[in-house]
Structures are given as C-alpha cells and as structure tokens.
Structure 1
C-alpha cells in the first residue's frame, strides 16, 4: 500500500473510532458525574438525551459544510470541534457539562452524515468493504470507551473530568492524520445541494431508506437504555447485567464488519434485511419470554441482528445515490430522522413500562417496531439508483 493510501486509511479509521466514545464513555461515569455536579437522575440522564437529540437536529449542517469546504475539510473540522466539546464537558459546572456535550454531539452529527460520502468519494470501488470496516470501527469505539474508562480512572488516579477529557486525545490524533488529506487541493464541490435535496424529497426511495434508518435506531437505543434494568428486575445481578450489555456490543462488531461485505455484492439487500430484522425480533422475544433463562443467547442474537441492521442502513445510504453529494444529502435526511426517533424511543418505552406496570407491553411494542423496520427495509433494500 502506498504511503498516501495508508495515511488515508489510517485517518479514516481513526476518525470512525471517534464517532461514539464521547457518548458511550459517559455512561460508566454517570453516577460519579451526578454526585460531583449535584445532578438528579433525570438531569444526569438528560446529558445523553441532549447528545442524541443533537445527532438528529444538527445532521443537516453536514451537506451545507461539505458543499462549501468539501467532505475532507468538513471531517477535519468535525474532529477538532469534537475534541473541543469533550474538553468543555470536563470543565467545572453544569453549564459547561451540557454545553460541551452539545458541542461534541454536533460534531459527531456532522461526521456521522458525511462518512458514507467520504466512502463513496475515496473508495468508490470498495463501498461494501469500507462501509463494513468503518461501521465496525464505530461500534468498536463505543465498546472500548464504555469498558476502558473506569479501569483507566483507577490506573491514572484521575477523576471523571480528567479521564473523560482523555477522549479528546484520539480525536486530535485523527485530525492530525487527516490533515494532509484535508490540505490537498480538491476540485471545487458541485453546488447542487438544494437540487440534491429536491431530488431526494421527490423520491420514494429516500423515505424508505429514512424509515429503515430511523426504526432500526429506535430499537437499538431502546435496548441500550433499558436492557440492564430489565435484567435486574428479572433477578440477574447488576454486574452480570452489565456484562450482558457489553456482550451484545461486542457481537455487533463482527456483524457490522461481515454483513456489508456480503450484502454489498448483491444488487438487492432485501434478504439481509429480513434476516437481520428477524434476529432482532427474536432477541426482543427472548428477553420478553425468558430474560433470566438464556440471557447470553438472547444478547448474541440481538447483537447480530442490531449490528447487521445498523450496517445495512449505512450501506444502503452509500449504495443508492449516484455520487458523493447525493450520498451526503441522503445521509443527512436519514440520520437526522433516525436519531430524533432514537431519542424518543427510551422515553416511550419507559412510559409504557410505567402505564402497564411490567415489561410485556413495551417489549411487545418493540417487536412491532421491528416489524415496521422490516417493511421499510424491504422497500429500501431493493435495487434503485438516486440521481
């Protein structure tokens, strides 16, 4: 591999690794954060909610930035702003905590959206492979951050502020690796953003892809938020409940790497949508019927299903449009709606739990959402070309 290609690949992968640690890394530290800053449980949970909402609200900034300065420079800007937000979040006071969280999430929202366009621009002949690689990097970054910060806190003697601020280091390292790519002279990006959005809005395929992205995000964040509580109420010890959640995250890494490579070789991704949705529904059903009987099996099944669904959503976003401009526009629409739906999911799930007094109603509702996800994926997965 030529040095330039190796640098491009390294910068791309490290950038992808930075797309989740700022969110996932906060959860293990949340109890310490609440005690130190003086937050109620609702206010502590709102930190993550603010970040997920920002992922949806600020995603549409990405096509505007990409049209003005190009995809590569937008990615560099996102990494720098991400490091800044992480640093702000570690400063004293609740204002800096929430402000930093919002700044970091805004950067992640922009980078989330442009990554499929970067794949289409730099790896047009290997969209399926590179989609699998970067989605696996995203999931791996979340798993590493959620599992490493507490041991790192004990090892270094830092408090939550110091150890969470360390998450800015890989973001700055990725920015340095990507800097030569961003400084290269590029052809001026075509200024067809409004017409690109107009084309997408008139296409049914856009709405199918958006629905599939949104519904699979909904089912993922619901389980991310509530699985440990479900297992605890089923009589599983707290430490094992945490391990079970980690297990489903680890399983997702393999699914996100393999599925896009296989599905990208086909003109249609419909059968992969069927299988991934069926596995997700089976995981929900297992947790509903027998949460304490075979929990490890349910987590493996759920992890494969949800990891495959996430990877398929991003692969379809990269495959359907004819050029990187349209890819970025479609990614902005699909991911903005997706993360706004995802932000509502845990709240609706909790309300159903409160009203029904048990987990049957919310989990049955989750299975119904997976059914809607399957229908949307059937339409989105069929061969089509936008533009």
Structure 2
C-alpha cells in the first residue's frame, strides 16, 4: 500500500470514528448532566432527541455541499464543525447545551450521508469491505466514548464538561488526516445529473428508508437510556456504562463481518431478518431479566443492532450505480430515517415518566422491532434503484 493510500484509509477510518462519540458520550454522563443543568428525564432524553432530529433534518445538505465543493471537502468541513459543537455545548446553561449538541449533530448528519458516497467514490471495487470497515469504525467510536468517559472523568478529575470537551481532539486529528484528500479534490466534483426525482419515485427508496429509520430508533433508544435502565435496576454507574460499551463492542466485529458476507448475495433478506430477531431477543432480555446475565443480553443486542445498521448502509451503497445516486439515496434514507428515530429517546423518556417504570417503554420498543422486520424483508430483496415499478 502506498503512503497516499495509507493516508486515505487512515483518514477515512478516523473520520468514521467521529460519527458517534458526540452522541454516545452523553449517555453515561446523563444523570450528572441532568442534575447539573436541572433537566427532567424527558429533558435529558431530549438531548439525544435534538441530535437525532438534526441527523434527519440536515442530512439533505450533504448532496448540495457535495455538488458545490465535493465529497471530500464536505467531509473535512463536517469534522471541523463537530469539534466546534462539542466545545460549545459544555458552556454554562441548557440553551448552549442543546445548541452545541445540535451543531455537532448537523455536522454528523452531513457526514453520515456523505460517507456511503465516499466509499463508492474512493473504493468502488471494495464497497462491501469498506462499508464494513466504515460501520465498524462508527460503532467503535461509540464504544470507546461510552466506555471511557467515566474513567477519564475519575482519572482527570474533570466534570462532565471537561470530559465532553475532549471529544473535539479526535475530530481535529481526523480533519488533519483528511486534509490531503480535500486539497486534491476538484470543486464541483459531484456536478452532473440530479437523481433525487428518480430516487424519490422508487419504492426501493422507501423500503430502505423505513429500515434505516426503525433500526436507528431502536438503537438510539438503547444508546440514550440503557445505562439509566441498569442504574434503576440496581447496578453501579460504571457497570451500567460498561454494559453499554459491551453491546457497542460486539457491534464492531458484527459490523465488519456482516457486510462482507451479505454483499456477496443478491438478497440480503436472511441477514436483515436474522439481525432483527436477535435485536428482539436482546430487548426481551432487558425487559424480563435485566440483571440476570446482563452481559448475555448485551451480546445478543449488539449482534442484532450492529448487523441491522451495517446492512442498512450496505443496501444504500449497493443499490445505486454511482456515487451521486448513492449520496442522494443516502440523503433520503438517513434524513427521513433519523427523523423517525428521533422520536425514540424522547418517547421512551416520556413513557418512563408516565408509567413509572421501563416495562411499557420496552414493550413499545418491541412493537417497533416488529415493524423493522417487515421493512427489512422488503428492503433486503434484490433490486436496482431506478428500474421501472420499483
């Protein structure tokens, strides 16, 4: 591998690692944040909700930016804005907490949509492998951040603000590594046909969008509330954080392997359905016996959720034939999908508040998973985006 290729891959992986810490790093610190800022459970859940709403609403900026400045420069800008947002949100007061979170999430939204196009543009012969690498890095970033924020807080003596501000460092390092790609890219590299009309008219788009949204909803619910569920079940804060880290860690390996295997087949239905069933089993374990072999439930949940996320992104990259159409499909699927997902943490917090426990919210999550299985069945079938009657 040449130095140029090594820098490309390293920058790509480190950029992907930054797509979740700004969100996942909130969850283990949520109780401390709520107590410090004076937020209710619904208000605490709204931090994640605000970010996931931004993932949906601002995703369509990615194709517009890519057409104007190119995919690589769009990715670089996203990394710099993430760093700005995570620093801003640690300033005093709830308004800047939400504002900084929103700014970081806007950048993540743009990068989320751009990344499948980047895979198609830079690694056209290795879409399966690099999708797995990309998703594994995304999940790895969530794992590292959720696992380390509490230990770093204890070792450094920082409060949640200081620890959260440190998340700007890896974003800046990734921007430095990606800078050579951005400098080489021609402006308007994505100029050409605008495929949104064709993408919006295809049924395939809406099957994929439903899969993306529903699997994201069930993922962000657990990301936002799993440590709190275990805290209220009687486990200490560090163990609750480690359990979240375990389920994220399992997703790293799953996310790398599943796209490589599933991409070899015309139909991804068996993989999508299997992933959904495992996620159902993980939810059932947390619902019925949260403190009985909790590590087992986290492994099952991690395999199911990691595979579901990886498959949704793999299908986005496989169905279209070129990076421009991939970016358009990614914009639709992730934007609408994340708006759907944004309801999860907020409604979970609300159901917890009115029901006084976690049984009702978790049963609602199981209902969403049934819908995810149906959407996955249709999204995973062989199809080529843009063919008539699709």
- Quick check: TM above 0.5? yes
Residue in 2 that maps onto 1:90: 90
Deviations 1:209-265 (A, max 9, x none): 000101111111223333344445555555544332222111111111111111111
SS at 2:265 equivalent: coil
The structural deviation recorded for 1:129 is 0.6
SS at 1:383 equivalent: coil
Q: Give the Cα–Cα distance (whole angstroms) in 1 for the partners of residues 38 and 302 of structure 2.
A: 35
Deviations 1:352-375 (A, max 9, x none): 455666544433332232222112
Residue in 2 that maps onto 1:117: 117
Q: Give the Cα–Cα distance (whole angstroms) in 2 for the partners of residues 185 and 140 of structure 1.
A: 28
Residue in 2 that maps onto 1:248: 247
Q: Cα gap change, 1:325/1:29 in structure 2, threshold over 3 Å: closer, same or farther?
A: same
Residue in 2 that maps onto 1:105: 105
Greater shift in the superposed pair: 344-353 or 72-81: 344-353
Residue in 1 that maps onto 2:161: 161
SS at 2:195 equivalent: helix
Q: Cα gap change, 1:126/1:288 in structure 2, threshold over 3 Å: closer, same or farther?
A: same
Q: Cα gap change, 1:235/1:322 in structure 2, threshold over 3 Å: closer, same or farther?
A: same
Residue in 2 that maps onto 1:377: 376
Q: Give the Cα–Cα distance (whole angstroms) in 2 for the partners of residues 238 and 211 of structure 1.
A: 34
SS at 1:382 equivalent: coil
Residue in 2 that maps onto 1:279: 278
The structural deviation recorded for 1:161 is 2.9
Greater shift in the superposed pair: 184-193 or 279-288: 184-193
Q: Give the Cα–Cα distance (whole angstroms) in 2 for the partners of residues 8 and 26 of structure 1.
A: 30
Q: Cα gap change, 1:157/1:354 in structure 2, threshold over 3 Å: closer, same or farther?
A: closer
Residue correspondence of structure 1 range 12-161 to structure 2 within 5 A: 12-161=12-161
1:202 to 2:201 alignment: yes
The structural deviation recorded for 1:8 is 0.3
Q: Give the Cα–Cα distance (whole angstroms) in 2 for the partners of residues 350 and 33 of structure 1.
A: 15
The structural deviation recorded for 1:154 is 3.2
The total of aligned residue pairs comes to: 386
Greater shift in the superposed pair: 20-29 or 172-181: 20-29
Q: Cα gap change, 1:371/1:94 in structure 2, threshold over 3 Å: closer, same or farther?
A: closer
Q: Give the Cα–Cα distance (whole angstroms) in 2 for the partners of residues 244 and 361 of structure 1.
A: 22
The structural deviation recorded for 1:34 is 4.1
Q: Give the Cα–Cα distance (whole angstroms) in 2 for the partners of residues 103 and 355 of structure 1.
A: 31
- Are the aligned partners of 2:72 and 2:185 in contact in 1 as well (CA < 8 Å)? no
Q: Cα gap change, 1:348/1:35 in structure 2, threshold over 3 Å: closer, same or farther?
A: closer
Q: Which sections of structure 1, spanning at least 5 residues, go unmatched?
A: none
- Are the aligned partners of 2:278 and 2:303 in contact in 1 as well (CA < 8 Å)? yes
Q: Cα gap change, 1:305/1:87 in structure 2, threshold over 3 Å: closer, same or farther?
A: same
Greater shift in the superposed pair: 19-28 or 110-119: 19-28
The two structures have a TM-score, normalised by structure 1, of: 0.92
Q: Cα gap change, 1:301/1:91 in structure 2, threshold over 3 Å: closer, same or farther?
A: same
Q: Give the Cα–Cα distance (whole angstroms) in 2 for the partners of residues 151 and 86 of structure 1.
A: 19
Aligned Cα root-mean-square deviation (Å): 2.2
- Are the aligned partners of 2:21 and 2:145 in contact in 1 as well (CA < 8 Å)? yes
Residue in 2 that maps onto 1:323: 322
Q: Cα gap change, 1:285/1:257 in structure 2, threshold over 3 Å: closer, same or farther?
A: same
Residue in 1 that maps onto 2:364: 365
SS at 1:386 equivalent: coil
The structural deviation recorded for 1:199 is 0.4
The structural deviation recorded for 1:347 is 3.1
Residue in 2 that maps onto 1:214: 213
Greater shift in the superposed pair: 279-288 or 171-180: 279-288
The two structures have a TM-score, normalised by structure 2, of: 0.91
Q: Give the Cα–Cα distance (whole angstroms) in 2 for the partners of residues 355 and 40 of structure 1.
A: 12
